[in-house]
Amino acid sequence: MSATVIPDTVAPGGVITASNVFYLLLLPATLLFYAYWKISRRHLHELSNNIPGPSGLPILGSALEFVGSSADIFKRMYAKSFEFGKVVKIWVGPKLLIFLTDPRDVEIILSSHVHIDKASEYRFFKPWLGDGLLISTGQKWRAHRKLIAPTFHLNVLKSFIDLFNANSREVVQKLKKENNKEFDCHDYMSEATVEILLETAMGVSKKTQDQSGYDYALAVMKMCDILHIRHTKIWLRADWIFNLTQYATKQKGLIHTIHSLTRKVIKRKRADFEKGIRGSTAEVPEDAKTLKYEKNVSSKTVVEGLSYGQSAGLKDDLDVDDDIGEKKRMAFLDLLIEASQNGVVINDEEIKEQVDTIMFEGHDTTAAGSSFFLSLMGIHQDIQDRVIQEIDEIFGDSDRPATFADTLEMKYLERCLMETLRMFPPVPIIARQLRQDVKLASGDYTLPTGATIVIGTFKIHRDPDTYANPDKFDPDNFLPERSANRHYYSFIPFSAGPRSCVGRKYAMLKLKILLSTILRHYRVQSDLKEKDFQLQADIILKRAEGFKIKLEPRKRQLRAA
Ligand code: HEM
């Protein structure tokens, strides 16, 4: 542009050229920009000065701590976390991260209707999840949350029970080929959780998809690897650099695989909708239907009988009014398509973003949770005995499907599940961007506007001030008398407050049916102990070495009912 204004020629015998002018102005312009940048960040520095944390290197800060494999980074960061208190600042280049692990401080952030903006790192999800519920903010997030949350209410979830049973039975059949040999159960859990989502929340039969649930799950895992690399290698954060790398090409291919499934799902559902078909079109085999076994359970018992993965005192928009009107009782994609018919609440692109979001959040988290659960059962044989005893007391020697009332009886299994989510929370950290200063409750600290706040769920769940023996797998941590005096925000696997997980109840119900069905048929063995797990936190917490277990068929004489 400047070349057209000031011709880039050498003046006869002179030295003033356009490039000379450019270089002459570059230095003062840079100095001015730097001065402005420093002044605009003064507040950030002033308020963070008294927050403890590693001093780091000039310019880079602690960026080098994030070099290496995900498992190395996780181990290093967790070890470092013991050097400081419950409010820690870390500079990563110019970025200020503040880690919070005191439940009183965490409550201030998570319960707020103001601090709802996700950290800037979530933008790496955009090409994949668009502006779906996980990432969006402001009015768009509010309107869509209001629309989507009721589609995960208990009354809707109860209509999924037969499909949870049918799919869990299929997993048991598939697992037969792994009898008595070591294998990675996460592969099976990923495939099952994708297929269950397709048949329940999306309401389409998995048989109509030409891609298997596993292909989709694999693409998601590889996509998470790339996103994790962008979080840790700071030079890849800039889109223009990232787009020059092979990761960008790989990402394009993976997004194509992921989006081709979600596009097909929406297309099929729309076609069904136009034919007047509502609800799931997935078929349930007769022997997985629960109607004749179901006892009537009042919604009051339901709320009191199940914590759904939350501390008992925490309530959110999933807990209000379980007896919602008949009209509102629609599953996720049915409701979105119906809402889009008038084009006001949600348009086609937004439906796709939400479907992508639910397909991701709904499967990878529960695949990790169930794989950790099975690994822990394999390690703690005595605890597995008690779970199996409880299941056998509920089902006897019958092979009938699990009813909703049965899931309420699975109290010990539920405690084991909660303890699994405590020790190995699938979402190990939550990050928010502060748009205004926040005074903390735990000490004389004020978090400055512009800081990235990292809620360290993994660390909070291992705090010896809250859990007497935090590294021991002890389901009795969730006995009512032990939970009673705990701060509500000291157990937050599903986050909490207005941006809590909308799939919390769905996840707990599905996991109870899936895991109890597996344990009705198999006993789990594991040669490793949990201290040997190589944890890696690339978006979702996993075992880097895979979730290796062995299954032994249980010797039960089953009868039909
Ligand atoms: C064990 C299973 C699960 C765990 C541990 C889990 C955990 C979480 C956590 C911690 C968040 C907050 C994330 C953040 O703020 O960055 C979240 C949000 C979310 N989860 Fe889950 N989740 C699980 C299962 C599910 C399922 C089954 C679904 C859907 C079917 C789901 C859908 C969502 C959505 C849509 C959000 C975003 C909510 C919002 O921002 O309004 N999750 N989940």
Q: How far is the CA of 285 from the centre of ligand 1 (A)?
A: 30
Q: How far is the CA of 132 from the centre of ligand 1 (A)?
A: 12
Q: Using most ligand atoms within 8 A of CB, pick from 113, 142, 220, 365 the residue to mutate for ligand 1.
A: 365
pLDDT digits (tens, 9 = 90+) for 405-433: 999 999 999 999 999 999 999 999 999 99
Report which ligand 1 atom has the smallest distance to the Cα of 430.
Answer: 16
Reduce the DSSP state of residue 523 to 3 states and report it: strand
Report which ligand 1 atom has the smallest distance to the Cα of 363.
Answer: 27
- The secondary element (H helix, E strand) that includes residue 228 is helix 213-232
Q: How far is CA 426 from CA 247, 479, 510, in A?
A: 25, 22, 16
- CATH at residue 462: 1.10.630.10
For residue 251, which phi and psi values (nearest 5 degrees)?
-60, -40
Q: How far is the CA of 427 from the centre of ligand 1 (A)?
A: 8
Nearest-CA residue for atom 13 of ligand 1: 430
Domain membership flag for residue 240 = yes
Domain membership flag for residue 469 = yes
Q: What is the DSSP string of 475-494?
A: GGGGSHHHHTTS-GGG--TT
- Residue 297's pLDDT band, with cuts at 50, 70 and 90, is low
Place of tokens 């029970």: 161
Domain membership flag for residue 386 = yes
Q: With a cut of 50, say whether residue 454 has pLDDT above it.
A: yes
Count: domains in the chain: 1
Q: What is the pLDDT of residue 25?
A: 84
> Is 416 known to sit in a ligand binding site?
no
Nearest-CA residue for atom 27 of ligand 1: 362
For residue 522, which phi and psi values (nearest 5 degrees)?
-135, 155
Q: How far is the CA of 494 from the centre of ligand 1 (A)?
A: 6
Q: What is the pLDDT of residue 301?
A: 45
For residue 47, which phi and psi values (nearest 5 degrees)?
-70, -30
Which residue segment(s) compose the domain that 188 sits in? 30-297+306-553
Nearest to 81 by CA among 61, 101, 57, 64: 101
Q: How far is the CA of 194 from the centre of ligand 1 (A)?
A: 15
Instruction: Report, as an integer, the average pLDDT of 108-124.
Output: 92
Farthest-apart Cα atoms in the chain, separation: 103
- Residue 561's pLDDT band, with cuts at 50, 70 and 90, is very low
Reduce the DSSP state of residue 540 to 3 states and report it: strand
Report which ligand 1 atom has the smallest distance to the Cα of 425.
Answer: 5
Report which ligand 1 atom has the smallest distance to the Cα of 493.
Answer: 5
As a whole number of angstroms, the distance between CA 335 and CA 410 comes to 31
pLDDT digits (tens, 9 = 90+) for 369-400: 999 999 999 999 999 999 999 999 999 989 99
CB atoms within 10 A of CB 374: 24
**pTM reported for the whole predicted model:** 0.91
Q: What is the pLDDT of residue 19?
A: 80
Instruction: Report, as an integer, the average pLDDT of 478-506.
Output: 93
Report which ligand 1 atom has the smallest distance to the Cα of 498.
Answer: 41
As a whole number of angstroms, the distance between CA 551 and CA 191 comes to 18
pLDDT digits (tens, 9 = 90+) for 351-374: 999 999 999 999 999 999 999 999
Q: What is the pLDDT of residue 38?
A: 74
Q: What is the pLDDT of residue 109?
A: 97
Q: How far is the CA of 59 from the centre of ligand 1 (A)?
A: 35
Q: With a cut of 80, say whether residue 325 has pLDDT above it.
A: no
As a whole number of angstroms, the distance between CA 461 and CA 424 comes to 9
Q: With a cut of 70, say whether residue 11 has pLDDT above it.
A: no
For the record, the structure tokens of 108 come out as 């201030």
Instruction: Report, as an integer, the average pLDDT of 274-289.
Output: 88
Q: With a cut of 80, say whether residue 541 has pLDDT above it.
A: yes
Q: How far is the CA of 334 from the centre of ligand 1 (A)?
A: 20
Nearest-CA residue for atom 6 of ligand 1: 494
Q: How far apart are the first and last CA of the chain?
A: 80
Q: With a cut of 50, say whether residue 3 has pLDDT above it.
A: no
Q: How far is the CA of 395 from the centre of ligand 1 (A)?
A: 31
Strand partners, 132: none
Domain membership flag for residue 10 = no
Nearest-CA residue for atom 23 of ligand 1: 365
Domain membership flag for residue 559 = no
Q: What is the pLDDT of residue 472?
A: 96
Tell me which residues have their CB closer than 6 angstroms to ligand 1: 133-134, 145, 201, 357-358, 361-362, 365-366, 369, 426-427, 430, 493-495, 499, 501-503, 506-507
Report which ligand 1 atom has the smallest distance to the Cα of 421.
Answer: 5
* Highest-pLDDT range among 11-15, 130-134, 557-561: 130-134
Q: With a cut of 80, say whether residue 303 has pLDDT above it.
A: no
Domain membership flag for residue 92 = yes
Domain membership flag for residue 489 = yes
Nearest-CA residue for atom 17 of ligand 1: 501
Question: Up-side HSE of residue 291: CA atoms within 13 Å toward CB?
Answer: 4
Which percentage of the chain shows pLDDT scores above 90? 63
Strand partners, 504: none
Which percentage of the chain shows pLDDT scores above 70? 91
Q: What is the pLDDT of residue 560?
A: 45
- The secondary element (H helix, E strand) that includes residue 32 is helix 18-40
CB atoms within 10 A of CB 89: 24
Predicted ipTM of the assembly: 0.99
Q: Using most ligand atoms within 8 A of CB, pick from 100, 361, 489, 512 the residue to mutate for ligand 1.
A: 361
Q: What is the pLDDT of residue 2?
A: 41
- Residue 1's pLDDT band, with cuts at 50, 70 and 90, is very low
Domain membership flag for residue 3 = no
Handedness of CA 473, 474, 480, 482 (dihedral sign): negative
Report which ligand 1 atom has the smallest distance to the Cα of 136.
Answer: 40
Q: How far is the CA of 45 from the centre of ligand 1 (A)?
A: 33
Strand partners, 89: 98
Q: What is the pLDDT of residue 550?
A: 97
φ/ψ bin of 408: left (φ > 0), alpha (ψ from -120 to 50), beta (otherwise)? alpha
